[in-house]
Amino acid sequence: MNRNYNHIRAAIPALLVAFLSGCSGGSGAVNSPDVQAGAGGAAAAAPVLSVPANLSVHEGLTATFLIPTSTLSNGRTATWSIAGNDAARFRIDPATGALSFRQAPDTARPGDADGHNDYDLVVQVSDGLRTSQAPLKVLVLPWNDGGAAGLPLPVVASDVARPAGTTGQPGLRVLDWAGFKAALSYTFDDSQPSQIDHYPDLKAQRVRVTYYVNPVANWYPNYDATWKDAIAQGSEIGNHTTHHCRAAELTDNDPNTCPAGLGSAGAEFDDTGVYIRTKLGQSAVWTSAYPFGDTDYKPAAASRFLVSRGVWPGTVAPGTGSDAQNLPLAEFPADASRFDTAASQGRWMIYLFHTLLPTTQDWGGGVDIGAVAGNMAHAKSLGTVWIDSVVNVGAYWRGQQLLQAATPTTSAGTTTWRWTLPANFPSGRKLRVVVNGGTLSQDGKPLTWDRRGYYEVSLDAQALSWTQ
Ligand SMILES: [Zn+2]
């Protein structure tokens, strides 16, 4: 995590002082001194404005990211506007206050006056007689902020109050897809030359993706360097076997089929795993994709990987039992409206790409790089789709299943869920949960409520406790 991000996250609890009722202390809101007399000569109460002092959003977003609230004198109507150094980059709906970027922000080309990707605004609301205003700093983060494992931030237009119910029941619920509506993984198979040549275009999107590599293709220039850089950017290198044969060809003793094959599916996976760890420097290998979607690889994959991807058509529902060792592929949509329909279904979509066009190394199944990058940009603009690597979404998906399957025990007023992480589960992963009220804790420390509407639970802790 970078320093800026931590700084903003640390500031969030102070922002939870949301509503000011006649008191301006404790929040970023400032009720301006430009007092005008009311019609009868008596000063009417100025509008009271509720705006967080800081907000973090991911780059690429053009959807509404904030709807501030105000309290006005009886019978008055709010009219919203913005001022400040970077106001020209934003639009605000005068009637609702809905705030959005005019153009998708790009952290590589900061659009704010000081070029720090932190946009300074003053949000203003008028009741027709008087105006109140509050400063707002909007920090724009890359989608791969936080390295390989950090969860991105869902867009929440209004602060969500910490649940304070007293039902006596925790009502624990895991948010699907980390609080986003849907999840999306871009996968690229075969470590093809055209993917290496177009890697800078993919990198420029700053989303984490998964490259399923066959090290036998490492004759192409910049092979290792490209995948090392992808790891440094937070993307995942997955296992696609060394020689890309059908599993049966590895054991048929036929010199005409897969002559270089290593003799078993497990040996092919292990050889590629060594390459990814030692030549490319990824700490472990958590996911695989089967050559040709050949599910004869499944028995060998089951003991080696958290999840594996096949090639059958489909999408994955949250928190339920799709086959973790044969995840399906979603159809890559040709246009934005079809993407939006798919994204509204609330499922995990996994795309597969082979050759990226244009190229002199056409290995078949080509898709134009502009279509891929355009799809990424559109998915980011919505703010409702979690774009991440297969290992990251897969760990959340399987982690949700683990917690949901845990039967809580209650002792001396404390309810505790326990789970055991399966083999090949990456460390440092979190779930986002809500409860009816009360306090959640792990390792004896209370969890902190996030204004976006969740507690973050560490999966590594393998236990979660609740008290009323
Ligand atoms: Zn392949």
C-alpha 311 to ligand 1 mean position (Å):
10
Structure tokens at 269: 């996976």
> How far apart, in whole angstroms, are the C-alpha atoms of residue 50 and residue 314?
43
**pTM, entire model:** 0.90
Cα 290 to middle of ligand 1, angstroms: 7
Question: Rounded to whole angstroms, how far apart are CA atoms 110 and 408?
Answer: 48
Residues 252 and 380 placed together within one structural domain of the fold: yes
One domain, residues 132 and 192? no
> Can you read off the two tokens belonging to residue 379?
């998915």
Does 431 map to a domain? Answer: no
Contacts of 125 (CB under 8 A, 6+ apart): 47, 49, 68, 70, 72, 78, 79, 80, 81, 97, 131, 132, 133
Beta strands (DSSP E) in 214-256 are 236-239
Residue 159 placed within a domain: no
SS3 269: helix
| 70 and 130 assigned to the same domain | yes
Query: Ligand 1 mean position to 350 CA, how many Å?
Result: 15
Position 1 scores a pLDDT of 34
Asked whether residue 91 falls in the same domain as residue 206, the answer is no
Angle at 188 between CA 386 and CA 243, to 5 degrees: 140
Do residues 137 and 189 both lie within one domain?
A: no
Whole-number Å distance, alpha carbon 45 to ligand 1 midpoint, is 67
Asked which of 370, 394, 418 is the last residue of a domain, the reply is 394
Measure 336 CA to ligand 1 centroid, in angstroms.
27
Based on the fold, state whether residues 203 and 347 are members of the same structural domain.
Answer: yes
Q: Into how many domains does the chain fold? A: 2
* Ligand 1 mean position, distance from CA 256 (Å): 20
Q: What is the pLDDT of residue 160?
A: 95
Same-domain status, 316 and 188: yes
Task: Tell how far the Cα of 296 is from the centroid of ligand 1, in angstroms.
Answer: 15
Asked if residue 58 lies in contact with residue 380, where contact means CB atoms within 8 angstroms, the answer is yes
Q: Which residues, at least 6 apart from 280, have a Cβ–Cβ distance to it below 8 Å? A: 224, 227, 228, 231, 237
CA of 248 to the centre of ligand 1 (A): 16
Computed from CA positions of residues 309, 417, 429, 286, in that sequence, does the dihedral angle turn out positive or negative? negative
Are 123 and 189 part of one and the same domain?
no
Q: Same structural domain for residues 184 and 96? A: no
Q: Which residues contact 150 (CB under 8 A, 6 or more apart)?
A: 1
User: Do 201 and 307 share a domain, yes or no?
Assistant: yes
Q: Looking at the domain assignment, is residue 404 inside a domain?
A: no
Task: Report the alpha-carbon distance of residue 103 to residue 166 in Å, rounded.
Answer: 44
Which of 17, 67, 77 is closest to 47 using CA atoms? 77
pLDDT of residue 20: 29
For residue 291, the CA-to-ligand 1 centroid distance in Å is 5
- Measure 49 CA to ligand 1 centroid, in angstroms: 56
What is the mean pLDDT of each successive set of 10 residues along the chain, which is 468 residues long? 37 32 36 40 77 96 97 94 97 98 97 95 96 97 93 95 93 98 98 98 98 98 98 98 97 92 97 98 98 98 98 94 93 91 95 98 97 97 97 98 97 97 96 98 98 97 97
Specify the DSSP class assigned to residue 199.
H
From the CA of 195, how far away is ligand 1's center (Å)?
13
In contact, 426 and 459? CB cutoff 8 Å: no
Cα(273) to centroid(ligand 1), Å: 16
How many angstroms is it from 434 CA to the middle of ligand 1? 40
* Of 437, 433, 436, 427, the residue nearest 464 (C-alpha): 433
Q: How far is the CA of 124 from the centre of ligand 1 (A)?
A: 55
Burial label for 389, CB within 10 Å (0-12, 13-18, 19+), is buried
**What CATH code is carried by the domain that includes residue 232?**
3.20.20.370
Q: How far apart are the CA of 217 and the centre of ligand 1, in A? A: 11
Q: Is residue 125 part of a domain?
A: yes
Q: Does one domain contain both 91 and 236?
A: no
DSSP H stretches of helix in 87-180: none
209 neighbors 235 (Cβ within 8 angstroms): yes
Ligand 1 centroid to Cα of residue 60, in Å, is 31
Residue 109 lies in a domain: yes
Token match 């950017």: residue?
Answer: 233
Please state the three-class secondary structure of 341-406 as a single string. HHHCCCCEEEEEECCEECCCCCCCCCEEHHHHHHHHHHHHHHCCEEECCHHHHHHHHHHHHHHHHC
Does residue 450 belong to any structural domain of this protein?
A: no
Whether 76 is covered by a domain: the verdict is yes
CATH, residue 98: 2.60.40.60
- How many whole angstroms from 189 Cα to the centroid of ligand 1? 5
For residue 353, report the distance from its CA to the centre of ligand 1, in Å. Answer: 10
- The amino acid at residue 425 is F
* The last residue of a domain, from among 394, 412, 445: 394
Instruction: For residue 89, give Cα distances in angstroms to 81, 96, 110, 384.
Output: 13, 18, 11, 21
Residue 138 CB contacts under 8 Å (≥ 6 apart), including other chains: 54, 55, 56, 57, 65, 86, 118, 119, 121
**Residue 98: inside a domain:** yes
Direct distance between the N- and C-terminal alpha carbons of the chain, in angstroms, rounded to an integer: 33
d(CA 265, ligand 1 centre) in Å: 14
> Ligand 1 centroid vs 192 CA: distance in angstroms?
9
222 and 359 in a single domain? The answer is: yes
Alpha carbon of 131 to ligand 1 centroid (Å): 61
In this structure, the number of other CB atoms found within 10 A of the CB of residue 174 comes to 21
**What residues pack around ion ligand 1 (CB closer than 5 A)?**
189-190
CA of 204 relative to ligand 1 center, distance in Å: 24
Q: What is the whole-number distance in angstroms between the Cα of residue 191 and the centre of ligand 1?
A: 9
Range of the domain at 242: 177-394
Residue that terminates a domain, selected from 394, 414, 432: 394
Encoding tokens for residue 402? 């683990």
d(CA 361, CA 162): 54
